[in-house]
Amino acid sequence: MDLLPQFLANGLVIGSFYALSALGLTLILGLMRVVNFAHGELYMLGGVLGWWVTTALGLDFLTGLALVALIMGVFGWLVDRVLIERIRGQGEEPGILLTIGLSIFLANTALLVVGTAPLKVAGPVSSGPVFLGPIVVTKIRLFAVAVCAVLIVAAYLLIQKTRLGRAMRATFQDPMAAQLAGIKTANVYACTFALGTVIASLAGMLLGSIYSAQVSVGGLVSMKAFVVVILGGMGSFAGAIVGGLVLGVAEALWGGYVATGWVDIIGFVIVILTLVFRPYGLFSKRAERA
């Protein structure tokens, strides 16, 4: 039990990245109703691009973070306008097939370009330890968690307080009424997918500064993001945050007290329990449950 505070701290750190990554999927899956199986590859691209801009180009971390956000935002906007717009309104099956194909394409393209070796993103601070009572945390982890928190708050303010955010919420509540009100829903969909892409990619770059970026990580990231979205409730901002933290803490406790080799099974257990006892998630809206 003496190690419990350390395990909880480790779980909150990794959970913050799960939460940030799941926010991108929440926007695309919960609001756009697009089952994005390429989400993990968008996360992976953020880590690979983060390595490239900080190592090959020699940019500092924050400048590189902004550049990655710009590149991935444009990429996400193009994916929606060129690909997803063609199958919008045709049900979920075409979107599933499209994003699976996009996932395979992105993963194999990245494999051909950078190979299978882990890519370390150059962080802005050292990895030296910080002692907080019985808890030991590295400086780079504290920095990355702080950036995660800033990004989560920024995404919330954008969705709730800006004109674009109001247009997004109006479009997803009633697309026809939004069009009659003068909202260009095609642009709103593209901006939403771009925002989800940016959030996922920045999570990949931040986690790459702590561990490393790998081309093969996409499938595992997608699985964990879907777990968080199912747990929190599709389209729920708060649900994505709480779900990410719950998954991170659960994995840390399991790895600390049971076995690290079976950590990834926790996500499947959480999904099963959620679907059995609360199939619409912890923070699902009453209208969605109805």
Q: pLDDT digit string (tens) for 40-91? A: 999 999 999 999 999 888 899 999 999 999 999 999 999 999 999 988 878 7
How far apart, in Å, are the Cα atoms of 13 and each of 4, 17, 19, 102? 14, 7, 10, 30
Tokens of 69: 């956000």
Contact criterion met (CB below 8 Å) for 209 and 144: yes
- Whole-angstrom Cα distance, residue 276 to residue 286? 18
Per DSSP, what are the bridge partners of residue 213? 119
**Average pLDDT along the chain:** 87
pLDDT of res. 212:
85
How far apart, in Å, are the Cα atoms of 227 and each of 100, 195, 266, 275, 281? 18, 20, 10, 11, 10
What mean pLDDT do residues 100-128 have?
A: 89
What mean pLDDT do residues 10-29 have?
A: 88
Contact criterion met (CB below 8 Å) for 170 and 177: yes
pLDDT of res. 125:
82
Residue 33 has pLDDT above 80, yes or no: no
pLDDT of res. 181:
85
Residue 290 has pLDDT above 70, yes or no: no
- Whole-angstrom Cα distance, residue 29 to residue 250? 24
Residue 287 has pLDDT above 70, yes or no: no
* Better-scored residue on pLDDT, 2 or 63: 63
Q: Give percent above pLDDT 90 in the chain.
A: 32
What mean pLDDT do residues 244-254 have?
A: 90
* Better-scored residue on pLDDT, 220 or 45: 45
pLDDT of res. 289:
47
